[in-house]
């Protein structure tokens, strides 16, 4: 097995053009401060707050992102369907139907030869994943066995209970389980007893001045009137939210650190 010393920068749900610009502006800063071995980004809200396009994915890869994970908006843009099939390092949830475009697991390699397996998984509670997350993750890990030094699981899920349960289920079997989807960072980042780094939700990269990325006036109006509202991405108070996972042994994390940076920070 190759050298297992590595660090993984994972950036939470990138929302709209403001989120993309925030990520692209701050990524050189984060590289200088932390020198991550790998950069993985959740991009399922990168195109106007819903989905991703091939052009945006190419832009992220050109900026040095090693892998892109998605979620329940993976198929919002039809033009990305063929791209998901053609490109190994962009993932939709593994537990979607096999007949749906794309795939849910990939392996990326650093210049030093460290191999990172990335698995994208969807929760079942409140989200429409095609198959059970807890059985499908075992299948995904079987695909990666013997092929990787570290494994990062992006669990795109709504229910905190489901996320915490998966963290315990995978403790000692993967390097990190990071939660996405709610756009609100949680305060429970830690390394579990058997060596798996865990956080229930990384948060989002985009406008903190809105309501989970949406213009706050529109969101409030919808709650007040109980009427359908057309949502637009907010442009207020952009932040980057992520975590840095440090590792020195195969499939084990030494530490997980939250990174919460305002644009320009």
- Active-site positions read 73
| DSSP per-residue string spanning 202-244 | ---BEETTSBTTB-HHHHHHHHHH-S-----B--SSEEEEEEE
Q: What is the sign, positive or negative, of the torsion defined by CA atoms of 78, 82, 83, 84?
A: positive
How many residues appear in the chain?
265
Q: What is the sign, positive or negative, of the torsion defined by CA atoms of 63, 67, 73, 74?
A: positive
Three-class SS of residue 79?
helix
Tokens matching residue 114: 């460290």
DSSP label at residue 141: H
Residue in the structure block whose two tokens are 């009427």:
227
């Amino acid at each position: 097995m190759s050298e297992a010393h590595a660090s993984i920068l994972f950036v939470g749900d990138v929302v709209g053009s403001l989120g993309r610009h925030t990520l692209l502006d701050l990524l050189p800063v984060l590289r200088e401060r932390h020198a991550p071995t790998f950069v993985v980004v959740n991009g399922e809200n990168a195109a106007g707050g819903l989905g991703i396009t091939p052009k945006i994915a190419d832009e992220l890869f050109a900026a040095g992102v090693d892998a892109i994970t998605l979620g329940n908006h993976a198929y919002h843009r039809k033009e990305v369907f063929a791209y998901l099939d053609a490109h190994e390092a962009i993932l939709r949830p593994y537990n979607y139907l096999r007949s749906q475009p794309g795939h849910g697991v990939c392996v990326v390699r650093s210049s030093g030869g460290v191999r990172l397996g990335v698995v994208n998984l969807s929760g079942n509670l409140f989200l429409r994943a095609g198959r059970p997350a807890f059985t499908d993750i075992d299948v995904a890990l079987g695909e990666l066995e013997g092929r990787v030094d570290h494994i990062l699981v992006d669990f795109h899920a709504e229910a905190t209970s489901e996320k915490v349960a998966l963290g315990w289920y995978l403790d000692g079997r993967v390097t990190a389980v990071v939660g996405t989807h709610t756009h609100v960072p949680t305060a429970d980042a830690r390394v579990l007893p058997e060596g798996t780094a865990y956080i229930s939700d990384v948060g989002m990269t985009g406008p903190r001045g809105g309501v989970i990325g949406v213009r706050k006036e529109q969101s409030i109006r919808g709650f007040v009137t109980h009427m359908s509202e057309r949502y637009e991405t907010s442009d207020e108070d952009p932040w980057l939210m992520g975590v840095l996972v440090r590792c020195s042994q195969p499939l084990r994390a030494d530490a997980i650190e939250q990174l919460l940076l305002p644009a320009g920070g």
